[in-house]
Structure formats: C-alpha cells, structure tokens
C-alpha cells in the first residue's frame, strides 16, 4: 500500500487505490439511491411512527412532493372487522396516483447492492489494514476540547487549508467521515432491510430494533436526508479546498 504512517509534519498520504475505487462506486450508488429513493417516496409521501401506517391512519409527517399529497380520492370508509363496529375501517382508492415504483424500486435495490458489496469490502479492508485507525478515527488528543474548538473556529472563519489530495484529515473532517461510515451508512442499510418482508420473516429483530416497519421507513428517510446534507457540505469543502487537486487525488491517487 502506498501509505506512510501518519506522523505529524510528514507530507500527506495519497489515497490508496482500493479506497479510490470504492469511493467512486459508493458515490455513484449513493446518488442513484437518493434519486430513486425520492421517486419511491413520491408514491406515498406520508411518514409514520410504529409498525404500520397507511392513508386511513394518522401520519407523523406529510410531504408535499407529488400529486399524491392529500389526494383524498377514497370511497367512504366502512368498518370491516367482524365484531367491532368502531375501529379499523377500509376504503377503496378512486384516485389515479403518481407511481413510478416499477423502475424506481428495482433501480434502488440494484444500487443498494452497489453500496453494500463495496461497503463490506471497505469495512473489512479498513479494519484489517489499519486505514480506519490511521486516517479516519479521531485520536484522544484530537478530541481535546481546545483542539476541536480550534478546528471549529478555523471553519467558522472559512480558513480552509489548501488541498493535500489525500488523508491527514482535520478533526471535524474525521468526525464527519466516521459518522457517515460507522453510523449513517449502516443505519441506511439496516432500516432498508427492516422494510423487506422476506428479510424480516427471518430476522424479526430488525422490526424490534427500529420500532416497526413504518418507524424503520421514517428513520430511513431521515438518515438519507442527513447523508444528502453531508454530501452537500462534502462537495462544498472539496470545492473550497481546491477542486482539481482533490478530485485528482481521489481518482488518480496523486
């Protein structure tokens, strides 16, 4: 591997080839997942908390992102449980909803493989080869309040160090990457799996962990929104620190 141990004062390491390959595979997958995921959400732009939720139960949040938003095209609700007159009802939908899930769902799951398989390889290689310890995880010294504050203050004054084209990250940068790699990305995958009827048949614990099918769907949405926010800041920082140098470093390794 073309890396040198991270000792302060030495020139920055370059991105290892496997890191570069996986970075761009993940980037392409995440962009595809974000677009197809948004199209899927447009088919039912309501979020719920708990195990189940639908147009006949109260939502947690309604998003005005397609003509399906509060469309109101339903036959009058009728009670339909044998002994209970109050409570659950059924209604027939009379509205022609926006629904592009045929291609959007298949594309979403195809792109998910494009994130999960390289992601697993990344986790194995990163743990085995010391990439996480050397480059990604902030050290105790870096996490000292004074050091963190210095980095925060530098960012607030837009004092962005010029691109090195490789790792030797600042403490805020390390925290952001650590959060994405070890928290947000696994949360996306696990909440996604918690929505699969076949996977939860075998592993119902996924439903318990996230508080049910619809809670998992809602967490999936908020985690994806957090990832998109990260992506915007990430690209902004790449531009601010020297776009050409950074993209060349992540593509060619120098």
Residues that bind other proteins in the complex, under the rule CB under 8 A: 40-41, 43-44, 46, 51-57, 74-75, 77, 80-83, 87-93, 97, 99, 101-103, 105-107, 109-110, 113, 195-202, 204, 207, 213-214, 217
Quick one: tokens of 37?
């995921």
Helix (H, G, I), strand (E, B) or coil at 61: strand
For other proteins, the closer CB: 145 or 197: 197
Task: Give the rounded distance of the alpha carbon of 112 from its chain centre.
Answer: 11
- Tell which residue, 21, 40, 64, has the closest CA to residue 192: 40
Give ∠ CA 75-79-84 in degrees, rounded to 5: 175
- Calpha distance 119→215 (Å, rounded): 24
Smallest gap, in angstroms, from Cβ of residue 148 to other proteins?
Answer: 38
Smallest gap, in angstroms, from Cβ of residue 47 to other proteins?
Answer: 9
For other proteins, the closer CB: 106 or 150: 106
Sign of the C-alpha dihedral, residues 166, 167, 168, 169?
Answer: positive
Smallest gap, in angstroms, from Cβ of residue 40 to other proteins?
Answer: 7
Smallest gap, in angstroms, from Cβ of residue 32 to other proteins?
Answer: 11
For other proteins, the closer CB: 48 or 132: 48
For other proteins, the closer CB: 105 or 248: 105
- Calpha distance 94→92 (Å, rounded): 6
For other proteins, the closer CB: 11 or 197: 197
- Calpha distance 230→95 (Å, rounded): 37
Exposed, middle or buried, 27 (CB in 10 Å: 0-12/13-18/19+)? middle
Smallest gap, in angstroms, from Cβ of residue 70 to other proteins?
Answer: 14
């Amino acid at each position: 591997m073309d890396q040198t141990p991270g000792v302060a004062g030495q020139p920055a390491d370059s991105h290892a080839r496997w890191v570069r390959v996986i970075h761009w595979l993940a980037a392409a997958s995440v962009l595809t997942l974000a677009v197809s995921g948004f199209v899927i959400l447009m088919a039912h732009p309501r979020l719920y908390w708990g195990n189940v939720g639908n147009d006949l139960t109260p939502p947690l949040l309604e998003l005005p992102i397609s003509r399906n938003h509060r469309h109101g095209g339903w036959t009058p609700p009728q009670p339909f449980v044998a002994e209970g007159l109050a409570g659950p009802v059924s209604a027939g939908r009379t509205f022609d909803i926006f629904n592009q899930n045929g291609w959007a769902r298949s594309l979403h799951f195809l792109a998910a493989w494009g994130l999960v398989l390289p992601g697993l390889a990344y986790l194995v290689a990163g743990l085995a080869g010391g990439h996480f310890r050397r480059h990604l995880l902030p050290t105790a010294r870096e996490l000292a309040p004074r050091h963190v504050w210095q980095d925060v203050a530098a960012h607030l004054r837009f004092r962005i160090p010029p691109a090195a084209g490789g790792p030797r990250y600042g403490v805020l940068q390390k925290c952001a990457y650590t959060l994405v790699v070890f928290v947000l990305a696994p949360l996306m995958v696990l909440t996604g799996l918690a929505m699969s009827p076949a996977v939860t048949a075998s592993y119902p614990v996924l439903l318990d962990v996230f508080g049910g099918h619809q809670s998992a769907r809602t967490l999936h949405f908020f985690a994806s929104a957090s990832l998109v926010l990260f992506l915007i800041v990430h690209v902004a920082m790449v531009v601010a620190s020297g776009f050409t140098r950074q993209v060349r470093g992540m593509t060619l390794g120098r």
